[in-house]
Amino acid sequence: AATFLAAWVALHLARSERVFRLRVRAHFGQIVDSRGAAPVLTISVENVGHRTAIVTAFGWTTGYAFPIGILPKWLRLRSAFQFPDYEWPINPAFPWTLAPGESRSTHLRREEFIAGFAKPLDGDLFRKLPWHSRPRLFRHRVHVQVSTRPKIYYGRVHPKVSQALEESYQG
């Protein structure tokens, strides 16, 4: 039993060092410079693992992913990729190479970001839940994509961001 346990611990440690660990967050903030303060939505990515990650894109997700597809339509996964604002010199261009312990952020102008989600579109992230009268963001998350892995890494969206998007939605 001790030999089995030692082998299992060694395999677990070896596997955990090969896994990407990214902390992704989306929240409101402000950028202050000599001309004043600009309200922004900040998306920050921090590499908390032991491997270097190359982040290629970010976006938004709502709902659940279920491979068989037996979920009702209002629970299914919906995703949208976001284009960063490269007109601001503070936004680094993709891809981002993040060494262990390193982090980067990109900023979007808050009013433009909220206005982009206000108009209803076919297949957008909002959905009509049976227990709500208005369309909502169900299980709203931000995600990033890493170049060497086919999967995406999910992160947290601050509740104030989701609330602002839901209040501006005209669906």
User: What pLDDT digit, counting tens, does each position of 109-126 carry?
Assistant: 899 889 888 888 777 888
Residue at 171: amino acid letter? G
What pTM, to 2 d.p., does this model score?
0.81
Cα(4)–Cα(149) distance, integer angstroms: 31
User: What pLDDT digit, counting tens, does each position of 73-90 carry?
Assistant: 778 888 888 887 777 788
DSSP state of 86: T
DSSP strand E in the chain: where? 22-33, 36-47, 53-62, 78-82, 96-98, 103-109, 141-146, 152-157
